[in-house]
Amino acid sequence: MAEKKCVLVGVSGGIAAYKICTLVSSLMKKDYEVHVLMTKGAEKFVGVLTFETLSKQRVITDIFETGMDTEVPHISLAKKADCFVIAPATANVIAKIANGIADDMLTTTFLAATCEKLVVPAMNTAMLENPVTQNNIEKCRQLGMHILESGSGWLACGDTGKGRLPEAPVILDAVESLLQEDRFLTGKKVLVTAGPTQEAIDPVRYITNHSSGKMGYALARAARDLGAEVTLVSGKTALEAPVNVEMVNVTSAADMADAVLSRFEQMDAVIMSAAVADYTPAVKADRKLKKKDEDLYISLERTTDILKAMGERKKDSQVLIGFAMETEDLMKNAREKLVKKNTDYIIANSIAESGAGFAVDTNRVTIIGRDAEKDLGLLSKEETARQILQYCLKGGD
């Protein structure tokens, strides 16, 4: 008989801790081995006995507790875990795990665990939006942890806003998707492009676009988490470089073309999510242009269409994925790009829709393949990335 998968559930001290009783109960019904780890704060909200009864396991809250057996509990639990979820994750616990602080049973076991990690923040909106917390969440993401976005709505403190713990079925889904995820990109080389390009007019001015790079960075992280060796060729963004990803920073469309085309042959898959300028100033002034009384006309010339260049030289084994971001006739234009640029997939991305496009954390895309199409619906950019890779590089949902 196959061994049960082991899920560690870390509960920290927030009022939403009561929702975790349902999560633990649902995990047990699905036949997982579940161990609950509580902080002292969590014990103020839910009794140890509740979780012990639901999980049918002891809840160890004291790291120095001497057990009846000789095992070191935080290490043996960490070794056994297939997934470690912290829910609710308070601002305090997030700050600790972002910085490797291990001062109780939960954070020590978390630091020792090498399995998939899911962090589910839940707190007051102001605490969540505080840049310190946002930085810590981003740091956790960069370190390879998965973050399940908080919901919005009524909060126990009486405020209304972001910070609600997602309901138990949503957390369960996220845990299960991490448990099922096979690292199907192991041994594969994937190149992702992200962000805008900057086309210099003179040493102080340039032409660019609104791309934040978030979708491309999410794709790079997701490909890394699925086992790929990832190269991220990025235009200038405000985002932190993901860990364990080869970063190639570029500025202009010409730089990006060099960086991508020189590596293309070695790649198993390339995802062009960068917003590459189609035109660049024909002459880049060496010195700052001084204003004159008359109007200024800048002559623009075409840049290399990087995706098309790869489409022309691609081998059958290579998978080429492009993006189409449009304000109108999205599907028609996207289908045309698939043929014109000889790609395997085009990710059609409407910027007219709310929650999709530049700078936001969600996206709504349709994957267009040679003989099938799939609308992914409104999802976080992380989940959109995961599903794009699953569909295009593994085949199927």
Which residue, 112 or 248, has its beta carbon nearer to ligand CTP? 248
Note whether 323 binds ligand CTP by CB under 6 A: yes
As measured in angstroms, the least distance from the Cβ of 347 to ligand CTP is: 8
Residue 80 identity (one-letter amino acid): K
- The residues that bridge with 37 in the sheet, in sequence order, are 10
Residue corresponding to tokens 């998968």: 5
Stretch that binds ligand CTP, among 26-34, 35-43, 83-91, 316-324 (CB under 6 A): 316-324
C-beta of 250: minimal distance to ligand CTP in Å?
Answer: 12
CB of 253 to ligand CTP, least distance (A): 5
Neighbours of 127 (CB within 10 A): 16
Nearest to 175 by CA among 119, 245, 256: 119
Spell out where 220-278 has E strands: 229-234, 246-249, 269-272
Min dist. Cβ of residue 315 to ligand CTP (A):
18
Q: Which residue has 């041994």 as its token pair?
A: 187
Who's near 112: CB < 8 A, 6+ residues apart? 74, 75, 78, 79, 102
Q: How far apart are CB 312 and ligand CTP at their closest, in Å? A: 12
Q: Which residue among the candidates 6, 21, 140, 157 is catalytic per the annotation?
A: 157
Active site residue 392: no
- Kindly state whether residue 322 participates in binding ligand CTP, applying the rule CB under 6 A: yes
Residues 330-369 close enough to bind ligand CTP by CB under 6 A: 337
Cα 367-370-374 angle, rounded to 5 deg = 25
Answer yes or no whether residue 325 interacts with ligand CTP by CB under 6 A: yes
Q: How far is the CB of 333 from ligand CTP (least distance, A)?
A: 6
Q: Does 305 bind ligand CTP (CB under 6 A)?
A: yes
Could you tell me if residue 396 is left (phi over 0), alpha (psi between -120 and 50 degrees) or otherwise beta?
A: left
* Ramachandran angles phi, psi of 226, nearest 5°: -90, 5
Of 9 and 232, the one with the shorter C-beta distance to ligand CTP is: 232
Which one, 242 or 311, has the nearer CB to ligand CTP? Answer: 311
CB of 321 to ligand CTP, least distance (A): 8
Residues 257-276 that bind ligand CTP (CB under 6 A): 272, 274, 276
Alpha helices in the chain (DSSP H): 19-29, 40-45, 48-55, 73-80, 91-99, 105-112, 125-129, 131-142, 168-180, 214-225, 253-261, 306-313, 330-340, 381-389
Q: Residue 242 or residue 322: which is nearer to ligand CTP going by CB?
A: 322
CA–CA dist 1, 158 (Å, integer) = 49
**Residue in 129, 173, 278, 329 binding ligand CTP, rule: CB under 6 A:** 278
16: DSSP letter: G
Tokens for 299, please give them: 């002559």
Show contacts with ligand CTP in window 241-260 (CB under 6 A). 253
Q: Which of 307, 320, 330, 389 binds ligand CTP (CB under 6 A)?
A: 307
Tell me whether residue 228 or residue 253 sits nearer to ligand CTP (CB atom). 253
The two tokens of residue 160 are 């209304």
- For the chain, the farthest-separated pair of C-alpha atoms sits apart, in whole angstroms, at 88
# residues near ligand CTP by CB under 6 A: 14
Q: Which of 267, 324, 348, 368 binds ligand CTP (CB under 6 A)?
A: 324
Q: Which two tokens stand for residue 208?
A: 């660019």
Short-list 36, 13, 14, 40, CA closest to 23:
36
- Does position 239 bind ligand CTP by CB under 6 A? no
Of the listed pieces 141-149, 170-178, 204-212, 303-311, which binds ligand CTP according to CB under 6 A? 303-311
> Is residue 306 a contact point for ligand CTP (CB under 6 A)?
yes
Q: Give the amino acid at 114.
A: T
Query: In this structure, which amino acid lies at residue 264?
Result: F
C-beta closer to ligand CTP: residue 70 or 299 = 299
Interface positions, 135-194, toward ligand CTP (CB under 6 A):
none
Neighbours of 102 (CB within 10 A): 17
Nearer Cβ to ligand CTP, position 178 or 324?
324
Q: Distance between CA atoms of 19 and 294, rounded to whole angstroms? A: 67
Whose Cβ is closer to ligand CTP: residue 25's or residue 208's?
Answer: 208
Instruction: By CB under 6 A, name the binding residues for ligand CTP.
Output: 253, 272, 274, 276, 278, 303, 305-307, 322-325, 337
**Which are the catalytic amino acids?**
157
